[in-house]
Amino acid sequence: MMVLNTPDPVALGAGLRPDALAAIELVTSQRWSYRALDLDIQRAITALSAQGIGPSDRVAALAHNSVYLIILQQALMRMGAILVPLNWRLSASELARLLEDCDPKLLYCDREVPPLPEGCRALSFDSFRTALATANPAARRPPGSASTPCIILYTSGTSGTPKGALLTPTFLMATAVNFSVLGEVGAGATFLCDTPMFHVIGIVTQIWPTLLQGGKIVVSTGFDPVETNERLGDPELGVTHYFCVPQMANALAQAENFDPSQWRSLKALFTGGAPIPASTIHAWLDRGVKLVDGYGMTETGTTLGMSLAPELLRSKAGTVGLPGPLTAIRLVDEADRDVPEGTPGEILVRGLSVIEGYWNRPEERARSFTEDGWLRTGDIGRRDSDGYIAIVDRRKDMFISGGENVYPLEVETALSTHAIVREVAVIGIADATWGEVGCAFVVIEPGARPDHDALTAHCRALIAHYKVPKRYEFVETLPRTASGKVMKHVLSKQLAE
């Protein structure tokens, strides 16, 4: 079996187009050519080696978007080490559990330091930037194996237990190729990057396709609808590509300076994270903007994508498109038999952009894949006569709030530790701002008084704010099956009525 070397789009760009602009950091106005970016990555290797980092070591990062976060990832990849970008929305206790799991040698942090596992040191992210200013570029090393993990991204399974997806350079390159083709990313592309880099879209999809094609990335510390509207219309930046979740697109449209007629260089707004109704696609097209929906996961990178042709966007609105060139898709029934066209089936994925497994979770690998290597997404799709796939349902019980996956079991576990809670069940309900939010059905202890504010404060100390229920229903009992399982469809029906 042939072993492929680690792909390195920055090193390639430094050779092919050394003086071309590769990256802009908006907060500092700093700019990097491909040659300068490549040299800073080599300087980072020197700085990381001085901190005792070597092959297979984990380095965690708890920081807002920055070109330096990309430099850190690329340097660790060249060293055969692993970046673990952490979700800064999480509570200190949640972060502590993830750090304990991945056991990093080092944590770079631009905020309050969470509890650290034994043997892990915390440094300010500014110290990483400063170290690069004085470090000499490291000597070039032979490229490593493309199958060696280089990023751990934490995602929750259907149980709500966080698990670290192992991303390899092969995964990164395959995602780059898939999105480059589906999203029409070329050498003249300029990608505005303000999706958080603790997500696969942030650390992979908005970075790797652009650098692979020789374009430039414009990095913002985070999303602000007014500032993003200005940047999309800034002729000096010339933004061609932008990725957001549907709630971000809505926020752009509601901002006071929304004027898509100024987005003259933008090819499309690319979205993911939740299905978009056909009527929404049509409304954006009527404004002159291509809102391009797609489908992917932390475990599969860019999987499905829409055409950028306006007529197909309109006629196929409500679907998430066709598979990328390095991805294969099956729709199957409960017996893993392929379903015919027009029949709903679970989406199975196979290809170079599918992870090999999870950090320290071999049982999850066995649970998530078929015996012949297809990843089970748990999502239900329907294929039309042209091969376009629509998502008709999502994983059981999970809901998406503001682009973030929320698993009710995790929320229920947090609520159940409050003294007044006897039983609890959480479901997702529609919300005009966030797409979906949590609704908790709570059975309280005899003699206790319902207290919405106390339960909210209790949850916020244990879980991320976006996971905290926005609505509480205090009930006498929860509907259960004969085996004791809560019938959440009954709860949904009660709300609807």
Domain boundaries, the chain: 9-390, 399-496
pLDDT at 6: 87
| pLDDT digits 0-9 by tens, 300-317 | 999 999 999 999 999 999
- Beta strand spans in 245-326 (E): 268-271, 291-297, 301-305, 322-323
pLDDT in tens, 89-107: 888 998 999 999 999 999 9
Whether 116 and 182 have beta carbons less than 8 Å apart is answered as no
What digits encode the pLDDT tens for the residues 3-52? 578 899 999 999 999 999 999 999 999 999 999 999 999 999 999 999 99
| Residue-level pLDDT at 2 | 47
Pair of tokens at residue 328:
């294969």
Q: Does domain 399-496 have CATH number 3.30.300.30?
A: yes
pLDDT, one tens digit per residue, over 243-277 is: 998 888 989 999 999 999 999 999 999 998 767 88
Residue range 9-390 in CATH 3.60.15.10 = no
Confidence band, pLDDT 50/70/90 cuts, at residue 1: very low
Q: Confidence band (pLDDT; 50, 70, 90) for 482?
A: very low
The predicted pLDDT at position 177 comes to 97
Task: Tell me the pLDDT band of 404, cut-offs 50, 70 and 90.
Answer: confident
CA atoms within 13 A of residue 331's CA, in its CB half-sphere: 22
From residue 85, alpha-carbon distances to 71, 89, 153, 168, 377 in Å are: 13, 12, 7, 15, 23
Average pLDDT over residues 185-209: 95
Name which of 224, 241, 135 is nearest 179 in CA terms: 241
Is 160 a residue whose pLDDT tops 70? no
Residue 175, pLDDT > 70, answer yes
- pLDDT value of residue 484: 58
Percent of the chain with pLDDT over 70: 96
pLDDT of residue 406: 84
Q: Which of 385, 268, 273, 278 is nearest to 322 (CA)?
A: 385
- Residue 326 CA to residue 351 CA, distance in Å, equals 6
Q: What is the pLDDT of residues 383-396, one digit of tens each?
A: 999 999 998 766 67
Supply the pLDDT for residue 158: 38
Diameter of the chain by CA atoms? 73
For the chain, what is the mean pLDDT? 92
For 101-129, write each residue's pLDDT tens digit. Answer: 999 999 999 999 999 999 999 999 999 99
> Average pLDDT in the 140-164 region?
83
Give the separation between CA 431 and CA 175, rounded to whole angstroms.
Answer: 31
What's the whole-model pTM score? 0.85
What pLDDT is recorded for position 452? 92
Whether the domain at 9-390 and the domain at 399-496 fall into the same CATH topology? no
pLDDT at 157: 47
